[in-house]
Amino acid sequence: MLRLLLLFVVLPAVELALLIELGGRIGTPATLGLIVVTGIVGASLARQQGLGVLRRLQEESEAGRLPAGSLVDGVLILVAAALLVTPGILTDAFGFLCLVPGFRSLAKRELRRRFERAVREQRLDLRFYSDDGWGPREEKIVHDLGADDADEDPRLR
């Protein structure tokens, strides 16, 4: 609940205050121009990087590798594009950060760490369901780590 309050009430209020302050310092036309320029530049960069990620996804899929890293890159680039077309100083800054490959690597590492911890603490249970239309829905457990499993596998520490 607190996160939603921050996201939908506090963040827009802070963005509005920053835009008003910026408008007072550099003028309304310059502020509006900055909003338009960051939107155009951000959308262009996101499109360019998104196409690169699509190429990597295809290459990894054709090579028979799971393109998990490229998928996360794609999601972060999509988030960046959405943030950059949204007027605001903080959203633009975070959007441009999401377009920096080094930042995306840090974000992927942190997301993986949180994901593995959630699985290890049994807050997350992954299951794969297949329904090919030829029979009953079949459930396959893909990954279910208990505390004992995490102790044995050094990669999950």
d(C-alpha 92, C-alpha 81), whole Å: 9
- Give me the helices (H) in the chain, please: 2-5, 11-26, 28-62, 68-84, 89-98, 101-120, 147-152
Answer yes or no: is pLDDT of 75 > 70: yes
Q: pLDDT tens digits for 84-129?
A: 988 899 999 999 999 999 999 999 999 989 988 988 888 877 676 6
Answer yes or no: is pLDDT of 135 > 80: no
Task: Please choose, from the candidates 82, 109, 111, 107, the residue with its C-alpha nearest in 3D space to the C-alpha of residue 95.
Answer: 82
Q: Where exactly are the structural domains of the chain? A: 2-111
Instruction: Determine the pLDDT at residue 65.
Output: 86
Q: pLDDT tens digits for 27-72?
A: 999 999 999 999 899 889 889 999 999 999 999 988 888 888 889 9
| Mean pLDDT confidence for 77-84 | 92
d(C-alpha 140, C-alpha 130), whole Å: 8
pTM of the model: 0.71
Q: pLDDT tens digits for 139-152?
A: 555 554 544 444 55
Instruction: Determine the pLDDT at residue 110.
Output: 94
Instruction: Determine the pLDDT at residue 150.
Output: 46
Task: Please choose, from the candidates 86, 91, 81, 96, the residue with its C-alpha nearest in 3D space to the C-alpha of residue 50.
Answer: 81
Q: How far is CA 134 from the centre of its chain?
A: 36
